[in-house]
């Protein structure tokens, strides 16, 4: 991470220059690698510039929620482990970690791309529990997008374990997790009057407001499945509309990268 | 069950109509400022303490005040009892609430102090974070904390394929999308925005505009509640 005072970051962004020379509306290089952890049922490592996260999926069995007796359960959590940044501490999750977890979870859950009904074993009694845990390994900003890409890639490569006659999990796989879409988060930030895509940790120190938009594709059309505003200032409605338009195209680009990584593995 | 028929919702409202609102300032004795905001069956009470000394001391900032917000839902606020205490949901709501209100305050004017805003949801029927914010802004004003203006929060969403204002009751459990905003008219900015559910580009923009319109109406209710408490005898 480059150490710079927020004022000079603002001035430079105001002149249309980013510290790493990127255009305002470009992601850093994103690399996605799947099946990186043998003990998980699905996994992925995502690097976005110097930000690095690893997601692992574990599929277990458990009791369904009372109001959804015939549906499996999905839980997404992001862990800010202290090795990833001098700012992370061990102990209970920080507000920031809870936000990353919940926004990542929201985009996947609300898009309804995981077929929860197919994850039911015995209605009201036993269902599949899908746990997605994302470990942040190195924080250089925009953890929401990195975690959401890693969670998606891990889910897309998840193999559901077979159950034996007594309903216990076995080492064998039954097939891939039933999914029919690829939700990803795209995060913008406002610094002064400029809107930038994919803020780094250094840029994060100067950010006035942030907006994350979750998108996926259905029947050839882009749908929106989640939004979350962060930061201590606001956005004009016009700025929100501008980011909604940009998210359509940017999300598409990210999905192509995920697709390529998943296909390559197959 | 059909939730919207001929443009009228099951509780009798039009698609762009808010539930009845009520606001009262100065509802608690001990707090430096307090307020109740009611939107249909959702009721929030907010209490403000401060600016005051910061404990724990390490949170103190030498050059400005810190704003701490706490959203809490009473265990009896929902149809089924909800477990008391902080959870991931309430932590997130406390955070977005703080960000929604922060632009209003002159934190630099009160170094080394804390402004504590406590929001208690007494009855929950959707839009609890919005109602909590509406109560909090009034409580801050009641506490005499200087502010640049008002913020009000309101939600809009989709029910049975239609864009509607202020989702409530069955619309909350059976509706397709919920999008709360907080709006700061003096700067014409949206200071809170969240969305759960599926929509497309044009519809997302329409929902944001509708929620902002609802928030503008709520600001009038906030202002009237303050006038009610602080009117001068004999003045117009």
Number of domains in chain B: 1
Mutation target for A interface from B64, B67, B92: give the one with most A CBs within 10 A. Answer: B92
Span of A207-216, B28-37, B225-234 with lowest mean pLDDT: B225-234
CATH of the domain at B30: 3.30.230.70
Is residue B235's pLDDT more than 80? no
Domain-embedded: residue B66 = yes
| B195 chain-A contacts, CB cut-off 8 A | 224, 226-228
> Mean of the pLDDT values across residues B182-200?
97
pLDDT digits (tens, 9 = 90+) for B109-145: 999 999 999 999 999 999 999 999 999 999 999 999 9
ipTM score for this prediction: 0.90
Q: Beginning with the edge strand found earlier in the chain, give each strand of the sheet holding B113-123 in spatial order.
A: B21-25, B33-39, B42-53, B113-123, B66-73
Instruction: Identify the helix (H) or strand (E) that includes residue B44.
Output: strand B42-53
Distance from the B231 Cα atom to the nearest Cα atom in chain A, whole angstroms: 32
Domain-embedded: residue B235 = no
Is residue B236's pLDDT more than 60? no
Is residue B233's pLDDT more than 90? no
| B99 chain-A contacts, CB cut-off 8 A | 229-232
| A211 chain-B contacts, CB cut-off 8 A | 193
Instruction: Identify the helix (H) or strand (E) that includes residue B22.
Output: strand B21-25
Please, which residues have CB within 8 angstroms of residue B109's CB and are 6 or more apart in sequence?
B65, B146
- The reply to whether B8 touches chain A by the CB within 8 Å rule is no
> Cβ contact (<8 Å) for B200 and A222?
yes
Domain-embedded: residue B236 = no
Q: Which DSSP symbol is given to B79?
A: S
| B96 chain-A contacts, CB cut-off 8 A | 228-230
* Per-residue pLDDT, A1: 63
Distance from the A162 Cα atom to the nearest Cα atom in chain B, whole angstroms: 32
Domain-embedded: residue B234 = no
Q: What range does the domain containing B76 cover?
A: 9-229
pLDDT digits (tens, 9 = 90+) for A22-44: 999 999 999 999 999 999 999 99
- The alpha carbons of chain B give a radius of gyration, in whole angstroms, of 18
Helices of type H across chain A? 6-14, 95-110, 143-156, 201-204, 237-265
Is residue A3's pLDDT more than 80? no
- Superfamily the domain A6-265 falls into: GHMP Kinase, N-terminal domain (3.30.230.70)
């Amino acid at each position: 991470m480059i150490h710079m005072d927020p004022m000079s970051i603002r001035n430079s962004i105001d002149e249309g220059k980013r510290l790493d020379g990127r255009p305002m509306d470009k992601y850093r290089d994103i690399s996605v690698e799947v099946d990186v952890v043998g003990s998980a049922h699905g996994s992925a490592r995502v690097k976005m510039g110097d930000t690095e996260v690893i997601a692992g999926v574990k599929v277990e069995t458990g009791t369904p929620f009372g109001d959804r007796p015939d549906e499996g359960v999905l839980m997404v959590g992001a862990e800010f482990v202290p090795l990833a940044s001098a700012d992370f501490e061990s102990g209970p999750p920080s507000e920031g970690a809870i936000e990353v977890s919940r926004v990542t979870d929201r985009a996947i859950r609300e898009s309804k791309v995981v077929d929860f009904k197919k994850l039911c074993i015995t209605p009201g009694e036993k269902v599949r529990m899908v746990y997605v845990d994302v470990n942040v390994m190195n924080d250089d900003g925009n953890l929401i997008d990195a975690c959401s890409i890693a969670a998606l890639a891990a889910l897309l490569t998840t193999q559901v374990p077979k159950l034996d006659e007594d309903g216990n999990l076995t080492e064998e796989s039954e097939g891939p997790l039933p999914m029919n879409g690829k939700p990803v988060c795209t995060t913008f930030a406002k610094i002064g009057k400029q809107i930038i895509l994919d803020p780094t940790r250094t840029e994060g120190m100067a950010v006035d407001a942030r907006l994350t938009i979750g998108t996926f594709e259905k029947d050839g059309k882009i749908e929106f499945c989640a939004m979350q505003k962060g930061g201590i200032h606001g956005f004009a409605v016009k700025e929100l509309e501008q980011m909604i338009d940009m998210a359509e195209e940017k999300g598409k680009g990210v999905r192509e990268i995920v697709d390529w990584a998943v296909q390559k593995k197959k | 069950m059909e939730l919207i028929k001929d443009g009228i919702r099951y509780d009798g409202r039009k698609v762009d109509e808010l539930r009845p609102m009520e606001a009262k300032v100065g509802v608690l004795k001990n707090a430096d400022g307090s307020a109740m905001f009611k939107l249909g069956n959702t009721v929030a009470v907010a209490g403000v303490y401060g600016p005051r000394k910061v404990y724990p001391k390490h949170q103190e900032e030498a050059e400005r005040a810190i704003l701490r917000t706490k959203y809490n839902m009473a265990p009896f606020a929902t149809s089924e009892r909800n477990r008391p205490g902080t959870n991931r949901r309430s932590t997130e709501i406390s955070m977005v609430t703080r960000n929604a209100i922060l632009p209003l305050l002159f934190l630099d004017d009160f170094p080394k102090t804390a402004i504590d805003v406590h929001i208690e949801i007494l009855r929950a029927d959707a839009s609890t974070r919005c109602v909590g914010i509406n109560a909090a802004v009034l409580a801050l004003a009641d506490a005499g904390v200087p502010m640049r203006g008002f913020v009000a929060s309101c939600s809009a969403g989709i029910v049975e394929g239609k864009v509607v204002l202020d989702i409530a009751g069955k619309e909350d459990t059976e509706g397709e999308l919920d999008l709360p905003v907080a709006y700061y008219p003096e700067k014409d900015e949206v200071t809170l925005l969240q969305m759960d559910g599926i929509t497309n580009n044009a519809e997302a923009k329409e929902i944001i505009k509708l929620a902002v319109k609802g928030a503008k109406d709520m600001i009038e209710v906030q202002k009237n509640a303050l006038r009610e408490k602080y009117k001068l005898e004999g003045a117009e």
